[in-house]
Amino acid sequence: MGKPTGFMEVDRIENPYRDAETRLRDFDDLHVAQPAEARRAQASRCMSCGVPFCQSDFGCPLHNLIPEWNDLLYKGQEREALGRLLQTAPFPEFTGRVCPALCEKACNLEKNALTNRDNELYLIETGFANGWVHPRMPKTRTGKRVAVVGSGPSGLAAADLLNRLGHEATVIERADRPGGLLMYGIPNMKLPKHVVERRIRLMEAEGVRFQLNTEANPAALKAYDAVLLCGGAKKPRALNVPNDDAKGVHFAVDYLTAATGAVLSGDSPSITAKGKAVIVVGGGDTGNDCVGTALRQGCASVLQLEMMPALPAERTASNPWPEWPRTLRADYGQLEAIFRQGGDPRVYETTVRRIIADASGQITAVETVRLQGFAPISGTEKEMPCDLLLIAAGFLGCETETANRFGVTLNARGGMMPADGSHHLRDNLFAAGDMRTGQSLVVRALADGRAAAMEVNRWLGRSAETPGTSVSAWM
Ligand SMILES: Cc1cc2nc3c(=O)[nH]c(=O)nc-3n(C[C@H](O)[C@H](O)[C@H](O)COP(=O)(O)OP(=O)(O)OC[C@H]3O[C@@H](n4cnc5c(N)ncnc54)[C@H](O)[C@@H]3O)c2cc1C
Ligand code: SF4
C-alpha cells in the first residue's frame, strides 16, 4: 500500500475540463492533463483494500490491477506501474479518455474515489512520451491465420492479443479508417483521432494487418483458420412517427460520423448544426455527444428530449454501492449547453409525436407531447421549431445483413450471443463485442475481444501457456 493516510490528506482532483468558452471554439481534447506530482498525490490515496472492489466484477471489466499500479505510481515508478497496467489493459489511452470509470464508482471511498481513469491516462501517455511503448513482436509464429471483422475496440483488442499469441491477425473494416466507434462515433474532443491512429500504427508495426474499405464476405475469408465477427451493434432505433424521413432528420451516429469526417478533412460537414434549431431525441451519452458537437458547430439552440423521468440526485435504496450509481449527472455537452444557453438542455418525460415539414420536405418543427409512464398526456402537445432533428434513441443490435451473409441467427436482442454464453458460433466462426452483447462500453468491448481471442486460441489447439505464446510474457 502507498501512503496509509493519503486518502485523508489529499482530496480527489480529476483532470479539469478546459473552460467552456475556450473549448466550444474547437474540437480539441476536453481535458487538461495534470503534472506528475499531482498524479502521484492522487495515487497515494489508494487504500489497497483487502477486497478491492475496483477490480471486481462491479468495477473494471478488464480487472485492471488498480491498487498495484496506483502504489507504484505513488512511489514515482511510472514505468513499472505502466507495465502492471498493460498486463490487463490493451489500450489505456482509449479507456483513460472515454471510460465511465466503473472502477471509481465501486471504490471503497465512494464519492471521494481514486482518480483511476486519469492515473491510467497519465501512465500510458508518459509511456508514449518516454518511448517505453514500442512494437513488441511475438517470439514465434503459429502459422495460423485469423480474420477479425470490424476494427472497433473489440476487434482491435482481439487482433492485438491474437497477434501476441503468435497468430497472423488481419482486421477487415468497411470504413475508410480503422477504429469503429472510436473513430466515427465518439467525438474528437473526447477521443482525439490522432490517438486512435497512433495505436493503429503501433499494431501494424507489430504485425497486425488492416484491410480498409472492405465489406466482409465469407467466401473471401475461406483461407483463414478462424473468423471472428466484431461488427458492432449500430442498428439505430427509429422514431416511427409521421414524416420521420423529412430532410434534416438524421440518426445520431450518421451526424457524429459526418462531424468527425469534417474535423479530419478540414472540409464542411455534410450534416451541420450551424445556425439551426437542433433537437436531440434521447437523453443518454450519445445524445450528449450530439449536444456538444452541435454547440461547436454553432447551432442557434439545442434541446435534448428524454422519455424517462430525471434520475434522482442520490442513490436509491435499491441501487447500493458498489453498483453503478443510477443518479443524475451532467456530462460535458450538457454543461456546455448550460454555459451557452443558461439552462439544462434536457427535457424529461417528453417525446416527439409528429415531424412537421415544409413543401420541400425540410423539417421546420416537431410536435412534442409529455408522457406519464410511456403514455402521452393529452392536451400537452406543443410545437417546437426544429431545423435539425437528431435521433439518439438507442440501438437494436447488429446489422442483419452481416448476420445473414454469415448465416448467423440473431437472438431476441439482435445479437450474436451463443446459447452457451461463449464466443463460438459454429465451426471456425466466433463473435465478440457489441455484436455479441449489444451496445455497451469501450472497456467491455475490449474485455470481450480479449476473451474471444483466448477462445479462438484454444480452438486453434494452442494453449496460452505454450512456450513462446505466453500472454504474460508479452505484458
Ligand atoms: C456516439 C457514441 C458514443 C459513445 N461513447 C462512449 C464513451 O464515451 N465511452 C464508452 O465506454 N463507450 C462509448 N460508446 C459505446 C462504445 O463506443 C461501443 O460499445 C464500442 O465501440 C463497441 O465496440 P465494438 O468493437 O464491438 O463495435 P464498433 O465500435 O461499433 O465497431 C464495429 C466495426 O465493425 C465494422 N463492420 C461492421 N460490419 C462489417 C462488415 N460486414 N464488414 C466490415 N466491417 C464491418 C464497422 O464499420 C465498425 O468499424 C459510444 C457509442 C456511441 C454510438
Ligand atoms: S478501464 Fe475503466 S474501469 Fe478499468 S481501470 Fe480504467 S477507468 Fe477504471
Q: For all residues of the chain together, what is the average pLDDT?
A: 95
Cell numbers representing residue 419 in the block: 446459447
Fold for 6-129, please state it. Fumarate Reductase Iron-sulfur Protein; Chain B, domain 2 (1.10.1060)
Q: Does 337 sit in the ligand 2 pocket, CB within 6 Å?
A: no
How large a percentage of the chain has pLDDT more than 90? 94
pLDDT digits (tens, 9 = 90+) for 355-379: 999 999 999 999 999 999 889 999 9
Q: What is the pLDDT of residue 464?
A: 66
Q: Please report, in angstroms and rounded to a whole number, the separation of the first and last CA atoms in the chain.
A: 23
Span from the CA of 232 to the centroid of ligand 1 (angstroms): 5
What radius of gyration, in Å, describes the C-alpha atoms of the chain?
23
- Residue of minimum CA distance from atom 37 in ligand 1: 231
Out of 106-110, 318-322, 461-465, which region has the weakest mean confidence (pLDDT)? 461-465
Rama region for 378: left / alpha / beta (φ>0; ψ in -120 to 50; rest): beta
Q: Does 396 sit in the ligand 1 pocket, CB within 6 Å?
A: no
* Residue spans in the chain of domains classed CATH 1.10.1060.10: 6-129
Burial of 167 (0-12, 13-18, 19+ CB in 10 A): buried
Q: Does 103 sit in the ligand 2 pocket, CB within 6 Å?
A: yes
Cell numbers representing residue 5 in the block: 493516510
Ligand nearest to the CA of 98: 1
- Residue of minimum CA distance from atom 33 in ligand 1: 150
Report the C-alpha gap between 366 and 364 in whole angstroms: 7
Non-local CB neighbours of 111 within 8 Å, separated by 6+ positions: none
pLDDT digits (tens, 9 = 90+) for 66-112: 999 999 999 999 999 999 999 999 999 999 999 999 999 999 999 89
- Residue of minimum CA distance from atom 39 in ligand 1: 231
Ligand nearest to the CA of 153: 1
For the four alpha carbons of 209, 212, 218 and 220, in that order, the dihedral sign comes to negative
Instruction: Tell whether the model's pLDDT for residue 30 goes beyond 90.
Output: yes
Q: What is the pLDDT of residue 283?
A: 87
Q: Does 191 sit in the ligand 2 pocket, CB within 6 Å?
A: no
Ligand nearest to the CA of 54: 2
Pick from 191, 288, 430, 442 the residue to mutate for probing ligand 1's pocket: most ligand atoms within 8 Å of its CB: 442
Give Dmax (Cα) for the chain: 72
How large a percentage of the chain has pLDDT more than 70? 97
* Residue spans in the chain of domains classed CATH 3.50.50.60: 145-234+397-474, 249-391
Q: Does 334 sit in the ligand 2 pocket, CB within 6 Å?
A: no
Q: What is the pLDDT of residue 465?
A: 57
Q: Does 115 sit in the ligand 2 pocket, CB within 6 Å?
A: no
Ligand nearest to the CA of 432: 1
Q: Is the overall model pTM greater than 0.95, yes or no?
A: yes
- Average confidence (pLDDT) over 247-262: 98
Cell numbers representing residue 420 in the block: 452457451
- Average confidence (pLDDT) over 54-71: 97
- Average confidence (pLDDT) over 323-351: 97
Instruction: Tell whether the model's pLDDT for residue 470 goes beyond 90.
Output: no
- Residue of minimum CA distance from atom 5 in ligand 1: 186
Ligand nearest to the CA of 231: 1
- Average confidence (pLDDT) over 226-242: 96
Q: Does 432 sit in the ligand 1 pocket, CB within 6 Å?
A: no
Out of 134-143, 209-218, 406-415, 461-470, which region has the weakest mean confidence (pLDDT)? 461-470
Instruction: Tell whether the model's pLDDT for residue 469 goes beyond 60.
Output: no
Span from the CA of 192 to the centroid of ligand 2 (angstroms): 19
Report the C-alpha gap between 350 and 352 in whole angstroms: 7
Instruction: Tell whether the model's pLDDT for residue 258 goes beyond 80.
Output: yes
Report the C-alpha gap between 86 and 196 in whole angstroms: 17
Instruction: Tell whether the model's pLDDT for residue 330 goes beyond 80.
Output: yes
Domain 249-391 CATH assignment equals 3.20.20.70: no
| Minimum-distance ligand 1 atom for the alpha carbon of 179 | 49
Q: How, if at all, do strands 424-426 and 429-431 pair? A: antiparallel
Q: How far is CA 433 from the centre of its chain?
A: 11
CATH number of 145-234+397-474: 3.50.50.60
pLDDT digits (tens, 9 = 90+) for 169-216: 999 999 999 999 999 999 999 999 999 999 999 999 999 999 999 999
